[in-house]
Amino acid sequence: MTAIAIIAHVPLASALHDCATHVYGNLENFVFFDIEPDVDPEQKVAEITGQLRSLADKNNAVLVLADLGGATPANIGARAVQILQKSGIQAHILSGTNACMILNAIRYRDKPLEELCESVFEGGKKGMKCIDLAKDQ
């Protein structure tokens, strides 16, 4: 089973975590990291890497879901994933996270990591809809 981590600007990571636990209840190997504006990136990378390494010891892989690619949380997550990969741990990071992506990550976390990433992206795309209320009137 893949461990799942959300890393995002404060308070988005905790809010997305709360959303997922509202749907699925309490989950093992599911963590979040809210990144404060004044964070020390090096210190946060070390902290997150340590926590993800301990999750990886219990699981086959780690999937990190970040809010905005290229932003500080995603950069911190990418560095942590890179460190994990260099130590032989299967790890990936995906950005642009929405609630549907997280729910799919949880639902399909038993799949191999590459297949899991595909399912997460599909869930994210299917969850995006243009709701035009004017057409219904």
* Whole-number pLDDT of residue 59: 75
Q: Residue 125: how many CB atoms within 10 A of its CB?
A: 11
* Whole-number pLDDT of residue 18: 98
How many domains, in total, are found in the chain? Answer: 1
How far apart are alpha carbons 52 and 76 in whole angstroms? 13
Whole-number percent of the chain with pLDDT over 90: 88
With a cut of 50, which residues of the chain have pLDDT below it? Answer: none
* Whole-number pLDDT of residue 137: 58
How far apart are alpha carbons 69 and 47 in whole angstroms? 20
* Whole-number pLDDT of residue 57: 80
* Whole-number pLDDT of residue 9: 98
Q: Which residues of 101-116 are buried (b: 16+ CB within 10 A; e: fewer)?
A: bbbbbbebbebebeeb
CATH of the domain at 31: 3.40.50.510
User: What residue numbers bound the domain in which 35 lies?
Assistant: 2-136
Q: Which long-range contacts (CB under 8 A, 24 or more apart) does 46-51 make?
A: 48/5, 48/7, 48/76, 48/77, 48/80, 49/79, 49/80, 49/83, 49/84, 51/5
How far apart are alpha carbons 123 and 40 in whole angstroms? 33
For residue 109, the 8-state DSSP code is T
